[in-house]
Amino acid sequence: MSTGSGGGFQDPPAEVLAEAAAAFGLLATPARLHIVWALAQGESDVTGLAERVGGTLPSVSQHLTKLKLAGLVRSRREGRRQVYLVDDPDVVTVVRLMVGQLAAR
Q: With respect to residue 38, please indicate whether it lies within any of the assigned structural domains.
A: yes
The predicted structure's pLDDT at residue 1: 47
What's the whole-model pTM score? 0.82
- 58 is a domain residue: yes
Find the domain containing 90 and state its range. Answer: 31-74+83-103
Low-confidence ranges of the chain (pLDDT < 70): 1-7
Strand order in the sheet with 44-45: 44-45, 81-86, 73-78
Tell me if 21 is assigned to some domain.
no
15, part of any domain: no
